[in-house]
């Protein structure tokens, strides 16, 4: 397959590169519906919804990614996808289990962090209110 029939696809998380490789097509879901992108399609930018991203590699094998909200940018034969959270699965059945395990763990960590932040904010408000009290 010639280079003109392949796209270079990168799926990026905030902390690392989840996937990098050549692909013949990318299927994703945006606010206005699902779409499939081929190498010679026009350049564009799209906000992605939490969904399953499917990348078909040069050998015709489909790779499945469970993604949270993100952004897809196609420029020439390069496709960059930045997502907040994402996991790769071997097939759709195992992908669901992987998503449930990983995203639930992250949600719990975020809940704990939000609780700690709320306690810090409450402490700051109490300290400021103590400063405003008149000295006797």
What is the DSSP annotation of 14-80?
Answer: SSSEEEEEEEEEEEEEETTEEEEE-TTSPPEEEEEPSEEEEEEETTS-EEEEEE-SEEEEEETTEEE
Q: What is the pLDDT of residue 106?
A: 64
Which residues have CB under 8 Å from 96's CB, separation 6+? 66, 89
> Is the full-model pTM beyond 0.85?
no
Per-residue pLDDT of the chain (136 residues; tens, 9 = 90+): 555 689 999 999 999 999 999 999 999 999 999 999 999 999 999 999 988 899 999 999 999 998 888 999 999 999 999 998 888 887 777 766 666 666 666 666 677 777 888 888 887 887 777 777 776 6
Can you tell me the distance from the alpha carbon of 46 to that of 72, in angstroms, rounded to the nearest whole number? 5
Q: What is the pLDDT of residue 22?
A: 96
CATH code for the domain defined by 3-89: 2.60.15.10
């Amino acid at each position: 397959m010639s280079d003109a029939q392949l796209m270079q696809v990168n799926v990026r998380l905030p902390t690392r590169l989840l996937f990098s490789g050549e692909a013949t097509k990318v299927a994703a879901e945006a606010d206005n519906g699902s779409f499939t992108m081929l190498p010679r399609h026009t350049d564009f930018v799209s906000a992605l919804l939490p969904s399953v991203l499917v990348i078909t590699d040069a050998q015709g094998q489909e790779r499945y990614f469970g993604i949270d909200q993100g952004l897809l940018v196609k420029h020439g034969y390069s496709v960059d996808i930045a997502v907040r959270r994402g996991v790769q699965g071997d097939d759709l059945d195992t992908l669901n289990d992987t998503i449930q395990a990983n995203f639930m763990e992250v949600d719990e960590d975020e809940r704990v962090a939000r609780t700690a932040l709320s306690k810090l904010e409450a402490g700051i408000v109490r300290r400021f209110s103590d400063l405003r009290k008149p000295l006797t």
